[in-house]
Chains A and B, each alone.
Chain A
Amino acid sequence: MPMPLVLTVEQVATLAPDPASLSAGRKLAAGRVWKHMGHDGRALWGECQGSALYQVRVDLNDFAAKCSCPSRKFPCKHALGLLLMAAASPMEIPDATAPEWVADWLGKRGEAAQKKETKAEAVAATPVDEKAQAQRVLKRAARVDEGLDALDLWISDLIRNGLGSLADQGESALEGQASRMVDAQAPGIAGRLRRIASLPRTPDWSQRVLVALGDVVLLIEAFRRIDTLDAPLQDDVRTSIGWTVKDEEVTARGIAADDRWLVIGQRTEDDGRLRTQRSWLLGLESRRYALVLQFAAGTAPFSQMLIPGTAFEARLRYWPSAHPSRALIEERRGSAEAWSGIAPGFEHFSDLLSAMSHALAAQPWLDLLPCVVRAVRPARTAESWHLVDAPGRALPLATADHWKLAALSGGNPVDVSGEWNGETFLPLGAFVGDTFERLGV
């Protein structure tokens, strides 16, 4: 039987909901607290002697874990301990038949997944009450219209009287407008206004503010003419305004993509109440990209375990868009494996820029293009870092500490994955030899 886990200890560490859980997990990654451990290729299990005897089971397909302890953190420290042990000392975990309490759990999971799928299919199949839906849409559109008109006037006033006034008491004024936008059911616009409020006072601040406000006005303009736009772009406008599309609708209207998907990068933002995880997936056959966004409150788990550097077979479903980018994982097939190989990517930066122009031409509000750039070397000038491609062009990197990338490359060409925003590139991972190394936070 193959080794129970093809993940490294570092990759398991990324599953931890917070650093305290990780160190608690490490303390439990010792043979003497575990009894009756085993694996059967599908699942991994064991019993941990803590203040009571806890039963831990892990589904190796997607690393979902269940422990009988009362902790509300997922995965709990016991599950992390078991996974860390399996990653560090696979020999300690024998081949065995799954006991009842493991098999039962796997069975129930299968049922639940089945139910979810049937429900989604049912939703997709039900004829939508088109008239009722159309009415709802009209009502909402009216509220948004009102709100956007007001904002439009406010922004024009700002330009007439001068952005200088924003420099003094801008934050509260913008925050006020943002709240109004939330009330007008345009949270996407509210978000943009808040981001403008938090722009740092760099020498080019007024340019950035003008462009950002211009983008908002462009969006308002697009919304007013939405009926003249192609259907996919209409979806993008609505998404940018901030209208959410339910998963069921995505399943019904979005494009499906079956492939072997490699997780090439991941970033998690934490604003104290909500954690947002952005994972970039690359289809190894199709070379398509997908962004999987996950949200979790506090220390709750993300529903999908996505580990950078692993690949898995799955069907993804894209949000309707003129340049499909965001997707959900509709169906996972088989287990995720640590991946070693060559990731498809751009050989020259000119190809990346070209891809960016095509993407922006299709969807002007696109902010990020994920990619892999091949055979690049890091460089550093007095002011900033760059990557240099084979023909010798330099791509500016986002302001951050890039010494790990430099150390991994050693001045030799490496493949790097990351996000390009039209101005700077943020590295998220490097492919060195046949291993994937995570970069950034």
Chain B
Amino acid sequence: MATPSSAWESEIKTLSDIALIGTARFAEDARAALHGELPVDEFLARVDVGMSLERRVLLTAAVRAAYDRAGRSLPSNVEPFTAAPSETRATAANPVTALVMELITTQPPALLREALERLMRAELIVAPGTLPALLDVRDSRVRDILPHVIGERGRWVSTLDERAAWLLDVALEPRTIWQEGTHAQRIAVLREQRAVAPADARAWLAETWAQEKAEHRVQFLELFGVGLSSADASLLEDALADRSIHVRASAARLLSAIADSDTAARLSARADAFLGYEPPSGVLARVRSAIGSAAAGTLTATPPQAFEQMWERDGIAARPAKGVGERAHWLTELLALVRPAHWEERFGASARDLVRAAIESEWSQAILLAWSRAAVTHRSSVWITALWDGWRHLSLENATPTDQALRRMMREQLGLHMPPDDAEARVLEALGAPEPEMRAEYLALLEAIPVPWRDEFAHAVLRELARATKASTGPDQQLVRSIWIDYLERISPRLPRALFDDALALEAEMSATESLFPAQQRKLEQIRQLVQLRERIHQEIPL
């Protein structure tokens, strides 16, 4: 017996082709098309023959379609998905699943991250129903954790759904990704390889070096900043001969960080010509020294008068950026390639002393800029803190907008790399200051302090913030309040659980203030919800 579907398809198609043009022009064909092979056609033939051709065409189409709907047959050659492997971890309970679904659509993504991190640590996996929504989340830090909490089911879904293909990249052979992946994937895999097998990472890069684009070569080289060792010197020396100035600059910078490399020695020696130091002398200095209050020595910088062609080899550009003087620019570039500790050794003075001396010198900004970059490259904690403090004391007279922007940027950069203890102390100091100045730089310090915060520190921060809020009076209190609300907003995702109640109490106090702007009220409400959500996360996912 012919399957109704296929017979229907051809018979209906014939009828509809005729209907498209009209039975007026295809009366004969229409009549012919009304006769069919199906059992239902027998029935149709018995229908009133006095009916118009048009009605017969319509009724025939309708009846055949009904016949098809009633008697459809189904194909049997469709392969279902093969089963996913069974899970090795327990699935999170229902309340957690509901919470995760809520967090997917809640801002900021930090909350979802926190929940998933706790799930990972508790060795739980998410419920399968949440997988499509989770795999759609774009936040990169959420994506970093997802492979650890989606279980076998999650990996199975990502082999089938193209939108989740990004997840598979993590599972593929690293070497394959290096050879065939997208640029972003290659950066990620080289970074990982660099952490586990630096020699391999070097070998991979050496292989493809010549074919890489210049900007990619720079990015790959930058990855060598982690786990840098003298074994990397040879590859970096080769890179000094690269045709791109940016590649050379990057290579020179990294080489300067390899203590026993020839290049580092060369760079220090070269820079020595441009910087001199006189320790403090005289009775006053000795007295101050005796009571532990050292005076600054004298730092003399003699920037080069002309550009030397061979400096280009180290990635130094002859012409400076707009708004920067030539000599200042060359001085900065030359000094930036020197390990800060070199100056301590050479001049027999501490980082703090040298920074202070730099502030009082003629080329203060150029020197501080150079040392800041070097301090970050070499991860010199003492210098980072000293410089961060130093920038603050640099006089703002005669500072152009470019200068000011530069200073803010450098302080933020330094802030990111400051040792946590120093960062903590400075945050508390900022909160205790009578005016909340240089807000952005102090907030950047928060990034340097690992999460979760120490209970003591978190407690001190909230206490200081509460005190500062109460003390905000005067004509510009609205603005000041905004600043404190900003702080509370930045702080809330970082607090340890022990401090949630205190944070909510502080938020309630802030909310109770009179004449808050609607925007301020909204922000406070968001802070409250964020802390409450974090409380739920900690409650639902115990560790």
Q: A207-B12, A408-B129 are in contact. Are A394 and B76 (CB under 8 A)?
A: yes
Residue A50, interface by CB 8 Å: no
Encode A8-48 as 1/0 by CB contact (under 8 A) with B.
Answer: 11100000000000000011001000000000000000000
Q: Is the CB of B157 within 8 A of A210?
A: no
Residue A364, interface by CB 8 Å: yes
Q: Is the CB of B84 within 8 A of A218?
A: no
Residue A412, interface by CB 8 Å: yes
Q: A356-B70, A422-B70 are in contact. Are A217 and B20 (CB under 8 A)?
A: no
A32 to chain B, nearest CB (A): 8
Q: Which of A54-62, A153-161, A230-238, A284-292 lies on the face that meets chain B?
A: A153-161
Residue B71, interface by CB 8 Å: yes
B154 to chain A, nearest CB (A): 8
A139 to chain B, nearest CB (A): 27
Residue ID in chain A nearest B540 by CB atoms? A88
Q: Is the CB of A159 within 8 A of B23?
A: yes
From B57, B78, B84, B98, give the contact of A159 (CB < 8 A): B57
Q: Is the CB of B19 within 8 A of A156?
A: no
A315 to chain B, nearest CB (A): 32
Q: Which of B61-69, B203-211, B414-422, B439-447 lies on the face that meets chain A?
A: B61-69
From B62, B68, B128, give the contact of A215 (CB < 8 A): B62
In the complex, chain B residues whose CB is within 8 Å of the CB of A357: 70-71
Residue A282, interface by CB 8 Å: no
Q: Bound complex: CA of A213 vs CA of B78, how far in Å?
A: 33
In the complex, chain B residues whose CB is within 8 Å of the CB of A176: none
B353 to chain A, nearest CB (A): 54
Residue B24, interface by CB 8 Å: yes
A102 to chain B, nearest CB (A): 27
Residue A162, interface by CB 8 Å: yes
Q: Bound complex: CA of A78 vs CA of B95, how far in Å?
A: 21
Residue ID in chain A nearest B539 by CB atoms? A89
Q: A27-B529, A361-B70, A408-B128 are in contact. Are A394 and B17 (CB under 8 A)?
A: no
Q: Is the CB of A407 within 8 A of B69?
A: no
From B72, B78, B82, give the contact of A386 (CB < 8 A): B78
Residue B323, interface by CB 8 Å: no
Q: Is the CB of A162 within 8 A of B70?
A: no
Q: A217-B59, A437-B129 are in contact. Are A379 and B78 (CB under 8 A)?
A: yes
Q: Is the CB of A213 within 8 A of B58?
A: yes
Q: Which positions 112-161 of chain A face chain B at CB distance < 8 Å?
A: 152, 155-157, 159-161
Q: Which of A306-314, A326-334, A398-406 lies on the face that meets chain B?
A: A398-406
Q: Is the CB of B160 within 8 A of A406?
A: yes
Encode A381-396 as 1/0 by CB contact (under 8 A) with B.
Answer: 1000010100111111
Residue A211, interface by CB 8 Å: yes
Residue B37, interface by CB 8 Å: no
Residue ID in chain B nearest A438 by CB atoms? B129
Q: A217-B55, A406-B157, A407-B157 are in contact. Are A377 and B80 (CB under 8 A)?
A: yes
Q: Bound complex: CA of A159 vs CA of B12, how far in Å?
A: 14
Q: Is the CB of A218 within 8 A of B75?
A: no
Residue B102, interface by CB 8 Å: yes
Q: A27-B529, A162-B21 are in contact. Are A215 and B78 (CB under 8 A)?
A: no
From A152, A156, A394, A409, give the contact of B75 (CB < 8 A): A394
Residue A378, interface by CB 8 Å: yes
Q: Bound complex: CA of A392 vs CA of B79, how far in Å?
A: 8
Q: Bound complex: CA of A155 vs CA of B59, how far in Å?
A: 12
Q: Bound complex: CA of A174 vs CA of B184, how far in Å?
A: 54
Q: Is the CB of B16 within 8 A of A207?
A: yes
Encode B445-462 as 1/0 by CB contact (under 8 A) with A.
Answer: 000000000000000000
Residue B13, interface by CB 8 Å: yes
Encode A415-435 as 1/0 by CB contact (under 8 A) with B.
Answer: 000000111000000001001
In the complex, chain A residues whose CB is within 8 Å of the CB of B81: 377-380, 406, 409, 411
Q: Is the CB of A218 within 8 A of B62?
A: yes
Q: Bound complex: CA of A10 vs CA of B104, how far in Å?
A: 14
Q: Is the CB of A214 within 8 A of B65?
A: yes
From A161, A391, A403, give the contact of B22 (CB < 8 A): A161
Residue B94, interface by CB 8 Å: yes
In the complex, chain B residues whose CB is within 8 Å of the CB of A299: none
From A395, A410, A423, give the contact of B153 (CB < 8 A): A410
Q: Which positions 105-146 of chain B face chain A at CB distance < 8 Å?
A: 128-129, 131-132
Q: Bound complex: CA of A10 vs CA of B22, how far in Å?
A: 54
In the complex, chain B residues whose CB is within 8 Å of the CB of A392: 76
Q: Is the CB of A388 within 8 A of B78?
A: yes
In the complex, chain B residues whose CB is within 8 Å of the CB of A393: 74-76
From B63, B77, B82, give the contact of A411 (CB < 8 A): B82
Q: Is the CB of A214 within 8 A of B62?
A: yes
Residue A360, interface by CB 8 Å: yes
From B20, B78, B131, give the contact of A164 (CB < 8 A): B20
From B23, B63, B68, B156, give the contact of A160 (CB < 8 A): B23
Q: Bound complex: CA of A421 vs CA of B82, how far in Å?
A: 28
In the complex, chain B residues whose CB is within 8 Å of the CB of A403: 131-132, 157, 161
Q: Is the CB of B60 within 8 A of A214?
A: yes
In the complex, chain A residues whose CB is within 8 Å of the CB of B82: 411
Residue ID in chain B nearest A411 by CB atoms? B83
A10, A214, A360 pick with most chain B CB within 10 angstroms = A214
Encode A342-377 as 1/0 by CB contact (under 8 A) with B.
Answer: 000000010001001100110010000000000001
Residue A276, interface by CB 8 Å: no
Q: Bound complex: CA of A379 vs CA of B83, how far in Å?
A: 11
B285 to chain A, nearest CB (A): 62
Q: Is the CB of B94 within 8 A of A159?
A: no
Residue B223, interface by CB 8 Å: no
In the complex, chain A residues whose CB is within 8 Å of the CB of B161: 403, 406
Q: Bound complex: CA of A122 vs CA of B307, how far in Å?
A: 106
In the complex, chain B residues whose CB is within 8 Å of the CB of A104: none
Q: Is the CB of B160 within 8 A of A380?
A: yes
A159, A392, A406, A435 pick with most chain B CB within 10 angstroms = A159
Q: Bound complex: CA of A26 vs CA of B105, how far in Å?
A: 13
Q: Bound complex: CA of A368 vs CA of B211, how far in Å?
A: 61
In the complex, chain B residues whose CB is within 8 Å of the CB of A394: 74-78
Q: Is the CB of A407 within 8 A of B83?
A: no
Residue ID in chain A nearest B94 by CB atoms? A8
Q: A159-B54, A379-B78, A411-B82 are in contact. Are A207 and B13 (CB under 8 A)?
A: yes
Q: Bound complex: CA of A391 vs CA of B76, how far in Å?
A: 9
In the complex, chain A residues whose CB is within 8 Å of the CB of B60: 214
Q: Bound complex: CA of A431 vs CA of B200, how far in Å?
A: 50
Residue A221, interface by CB 8 Å: yes
In the complex, chain B residues whose CB is within 8 Å of the CB of A361: 70
A323 to chain B, nearest CB (A): 12
Residue A163, interface by CB 8 Å: yes
B25, B54, B82, B161 pick with most chain A CB within 10 angstroms = B54
Q: Bound complex: CA of A103 vs CA of B95, how far in Å?
A: 31
From B16, B21, B52, B128, give the contact of A210 (CB < 8 A): B16
From A30, A210, A349, give the contact of B15 (CB < 8 A): A210
In the complex, chain A residues whose CB is within 8 Å of the CB of B95: 9, 88
Residue A294, interface by CB 8 Å: no
Hey, which bits of chain A sit against chain B, CB under 8 A?
Answer: 8-10, 26-27, 30, 88, 152, 155-157, 159-164, 206-207, 209-211, 213-215, 217-218, 221, 349, 353, 356-357, 360-361, 364, 377-381, 386, 388, 391-396, 401, 403-404, 406-412, 421-423, 432, 435, 437
A-B contacts besides A217-B62, A435-B94, 17 pairs, CB < 8 Å: A152-B55, A159-B23, A162-B24, A211-B62, A213-B61, A221-B59, A353-B71, A357-B71, A379-B80, A380-B81, A388-B78, A393-B74, A394-B75, A404-B129, A406-B161, A407-B128, A408-B129
23 contacts between A and B (CB under 8 A): A9-B95, A88-B95, A162-B21, A162-B22, A164-B21, A206-B16, A206-B17, A214-B65, A218-B58, A218-B59, A356-B70, A380-B160, A386-B78, A392-B76, A393-B74, A394-B74, A404-B129, A406-B161, A410-B83, A411-B82, A411-B84, A412-B83, A423-B69
Lowest 9 A-B CB distances belong to which pairs? A214-B62, A422-B69, A162-B22, A411-B83, A394-B78, A377-B80, A357-B70, A214-B61, A156-B54
